Amino acid sequence: MLIPAEKWGEAEDLLEEDNKVFEFWCERIAEDRVVIKILVDADKSQTIIDKLNDEFGTYDSFRLLLFKVEASLPVEEEEKKEKEEEGKETRGVSREELYTEVKDQREVNRVYVLLTILAAVVASIGVLRNDVAVIVGAMVIAPMLGPNVGLSLATTLADFDLAKLAAKTALVGIVLSFIVSIALGIVLPVDPTTTEIAARTDISLLHVVLALSAGSAGTLAYTKGLSSAVIGVMVALALVPAIAASGLLIGSQEFIEGFNALVLFFVNLICINLAGVLTFVVQGFEPSTWGEADKARRLTKRALILWITLLAVLIAGIIYTQYF
């Protein structure tokens, strides 16, 4: 943390009083500025970040930089046991770290467009060839996790700018994938009875469970600071093959089956975003100020009602087609 030199005493008192701070050091880097290095547990960093920002955020020279500690020696076994016994903190990264990571992945650029097109092509070929390995390969390159997590985070933080950008990025990916798969369906022979295609046209409640699990796992990977690469594959697995199968079938004029696959896609999309919002709420992510937090809670409630209503309508349609 960078602050004015005359504020060092206030910062020292604040940090000494906070039992979440392991250790801190101060170094004067200029006549009027000091840098303070603060070591805290990542699970407990959010309250300290908010407190420091509230106290010193109005000063022009204030900067708070967050770094992840990869390892520490010596290993303190007693301290580790105490931390495990406390076990009440549910988050692994701060709100600011999560926001930055999601923000980096929600922009539409050439790399995103290219990866989306390539993923759609590979997924379409995998579906046509009935090749699971090729389909999974498409999921590895599909950039679907970031925009959906970004939309869920924007809902819980009431961040309309992030919501618009995340929604735009997700929409571009969906439309591109759909257009590419339709084009391939026009020029390539499509057999609706192929196992991988038929699996996307026969919708069941298990697809709802799968999509909810994928959305929750993807969001949890972000909040706990875990690698999102493998979880991103799971999220993409719920989205890209469905949209690819729908486009292929519509392109080959198999409109009824194509519509069924499109319904599956929207079921998955709704479930992933619903699970994402719920996971953020359970993890306790909300704006730092009371006014913004109150607005975010109202927006989150409305979003949950919308997602649940849409999902309920689709589930009712699934049940009706299966049993009536």
User: Quick check: 103 pLDDT over 90?
Assistant: no
Which residues, other chains included, contact 255 with Cβ-Cβ below 8 Å and sequence gap of 6+?
A: 249
User: Quick one: pLDDT band at residue 133, thresholds 50, 70, 90?
Assistant: confident
Report the interhelical angle of 205-223 vs 229-251 (nearest 10°). 140
User: Quick one: pLDDT band at residue 87, thresholds 50, 70, 90?
Assistant: very low
Q: CA 228 → CA 103, 140, 225, distances in Å?
A: 14, 11, 8
User: Quick check: 82 pLDDT over 80?
Assistant: no
pLDDT of 254 reads 94
User: Quick check: 298 pLDDT over 80?
Assistant: yes
Instruction: Give the tokens for residue 99.
Output: 């926001």
Which residues sit opposite 25 in a β-bridge? Answer: 37
Instruction: Compute the distance between CA of residue 231 and CA of residue 214 in angstroms, rounded to an integer.
Output: 7
- Put simply, whether the predicted model's pTM sits higher than 0.85 gets the answer no
The DSSP letter of residue 194 is: S
Report the interhelical angle of 110-129 vs 160-187 (nearest 10°). 40
Instruction: Give the tokens for residue 199.
Output: 């699996």
Higher pLDDT, 77 or 213: 213
Instruction: Compute the distance between CA of residue 134 and CA of residue 139 in angstroms, rounded to an integer.
Output: 9
Which residues, other chains included, contact 63 with Cβ-Cβ below 8 Å and sequence gap of 6+?
A: 1, 2
User: Quick one: pLDDT band at residue 117, thresholds 50, 70, 90?
Assistant: very high
User: Quick check: 78 pLDDT over 60?
Assistant: no
Mean pLDDT for the chain?
Answer: 85
Give the gyration radius of the chain's Cα atoms: 24
In terms of Cα–Cα distance, which of 58, 59, 17 is closest to 34?
Answer: 59
pLDDT of 292 reads 80
Q: What does the domain layout of the chain look like in residue ranges?
A: 2-86, 95-323
Q: Which CATH number fits domain 95-323: 1.20.1080, 2.60.40, 3.30.70, 1.10.1060?
A: 1.20.1080
In terms of Cα–Cα distance, which of 259, 103, 102, 105 is closest to 178?
Answer: 259
* Apex 296 CA angle, 232 and 67, nearest 5: 50
Instruction: Compute the distance between CA of residue 162 and CA of residue 239 in angstroms, rounded to an integer.
Output: 22
Write out pLDDT tens, residues 207-257. 888 888 888 887 787 777 665 556 666 677 778 999 999 999 999 999 999
Write out pLDDT tens, residues 168-222. 999 999 999 999 999 999 999 999 999 999 989 888 888 888 888 888 887 787 7
User: Quick check: 70 pLDDT over 90?
Assistant: no
Write out pLDDT tens, residues 47-68. 899 899 999 999 998 999 998 8
pLDDT of 231 reads 64
Which residues sit opposite 318 in a β-bridge? Answer: none
User: Quick one: pLDDT band at residue 113, thresholds 50, 70, 90?
Assistant: very high
User: Quick one: pLDDT band at residue 45, thresholds 50, 70, 90?
Assistant: confident
Higher pLDDT, 19 or 91: 19
Higher pLDDT, 235 or 7: 7
pLDDT of 228 reads 56
- In the block, residue with structure tokens 């699990």: 213
- Asked if residues 109 and 172 have their Cβ atoms less than 8 Å apart, the reply is no
Strand order in the sheet with 2-4: 2-4, 33-40, 21-30
